[in-house]
A and B are shown apart, each in its own frame.
Chain A
């Protein structure tokens, strides 16, 4: 069965970086790109960006430009999202999801930014 399994919760200090992983299984990894979406406590869904699993292409939301990097490792069928210069506003659940219409989602990774 198709699964996206994300890394565990993180507690980070302001100014630090976090890297969340998303391990895909059950399908050919290079068929679809991976999107990342976050949800702050009590808030809606926010699209962060997309990474290709079959080329070096990626695309990020303007609000994250300059402090985000998304990568995909085809050898391990794992996508990564790194967010730098964290502030308390980055406290959220981070999701990876497959395809443009996000048909399969990871379970979410809670990132808490606190001093």
Chain B
């Protein structure tokens, strides 16, 4: 089975900073890679699917990229409302798999 790792596990950045989260697959995967945002106490929310397609209503400061085994989620200008844990997910085959998450805080 494919395993997903994320780095860093947590980060603290200032408002306005550019933030990058990395997701790595244990083997090359297709483009069925999604990113989710989960704010404390809330339901996860789909941000990006198919590596780089922004879900409707998601602010344009979020973007996704990558291929093969390495993928990134970028927040171009961190906002206070972006405090959350971010998860990547590979969903092309079963079992689907989530990364362990990256917790983003404001410095």
A residues sitting closer than 8 Å to B (CB atoms) are 35, 37, 44-47, 49-50, 59, 61-62, 95, 100-103, 105-108
In the assembled complex, how far is the CB of residue B80 from the closest CB belonging to chain A, in whole angstroms? 23
- Looking across the interface, which residue of chain A has its beta carbon closest to that of B33? A101
The main secondary structure of chain B at its interface with chain A is loop
A-B contact count (CB 8 A): 59
B91 contacts the other chain (CB 8 A): yes
Chain B residues positioned under 8 Å from A59 (CB to CB): 94-95
Given the known inter-chain contacts A44-B87, A47-B97, A100-B96, please indicate yes or no for A107 contacting B32, CB distance below 8 A.
no
Chain B residues positioned under 8 Å from A103 (CB to CB): 46, 49, 55
In the assembled complex, how far is the CB of residue B32 from the closest CB belonging to chain A, in whole angstroms? 7
Chain B residues positioned under 8 Å from A102 (CB to CB): 34, 36, 44, 46, 89, 91
Q: Is the CB of A47 within 8 A of B95?
A: yes
Q: List 23 A-B contacts (CB under 8 A).
A: A35-B96, A37-B44, A37-B98, A44-B100, A45-B87, A45-B89, A45-B98, A47-B89, A47-B98, A49-B94, A49-B95, A50-B94, A61-B95, A95-B44, A100-B91, A101-B46, A101-B49, A101-B50, A102-B34, A102-B44, A102-B46, A107-B43, A108-B43
